[in-house]
């Protein structure tokens, strides 16, 4: 346990366990289990950078992805790794701004599009003790 200083996951965890890569099984909570694994490999004080789709409500699109909301980020992704920073941005064409534009959490929470065109970049930091 506690072997790495930093972990990065860009647009991946939302697919884990949903057969998005043709792995042949469904495991609805594999995102939670993956975050537990990230916690375990981080050294105390280590940081995880994670991006996931974000929107109005948590939902799973079978065989594709999960879209997270405020509560599911807290309950599924940040259970053991506290959020140090969250940055919301447009990750595809939508009415909230050009691709790559940083937006407010309120704007991100209001977006309910599918496919998801809003993402959150989370900086999660493992406690020192």
pLDDT tens digits, one per residue of 51-76:
999 999 999 998 999 999 999 999 99
Contacts of 85 (CB under 8 A, 6+ apart): 122, 123
Using alpha carbons, select from 99, 48, 57 the residue that is nearest to residue 77.
48
Which pLDDT value is given to residue 115?
A: 77
* Mean pLDDT of the 37-49 span: 97
Q: Give the global pTM.
A: 0.92
Backbone angles phi, psi at 71, to 5 degrees: -65, -40
Backbone angles phi, psi at 34, to 5 degrees: -65, -40
Sheet arrangement for strand 4-10: 4-10, 42-53, 118-125, 83-90, 102-103
């Amino acid at each position: 346990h506690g072997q790495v200083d930093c972990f990065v996951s860009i647009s991946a965890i939302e697919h884990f366990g949903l057969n998005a890569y043709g792995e042949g099984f469904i495991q609805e909570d594999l995102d939670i289990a993956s975050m537990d694994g990230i916690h375990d490999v981080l050294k105390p004080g280590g940081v995880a950078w994670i991006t996931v789709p974000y929107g109005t409500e948590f939902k799973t699109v079978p065989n594709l992805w999960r879209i997270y909301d405020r509560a599911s980020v807290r309950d599924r992704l940040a259970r053991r790794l506290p959020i140090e920073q969250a940055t919301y941005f447009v990750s595809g064409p939508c009415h909230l701004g050009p691709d790559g534009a940083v937006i407010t959490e309120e704007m991100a929470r209001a977006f309910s599009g599918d496919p998801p065109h809003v993402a959150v970049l989370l900086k999660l930091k493992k406690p020192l003790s």
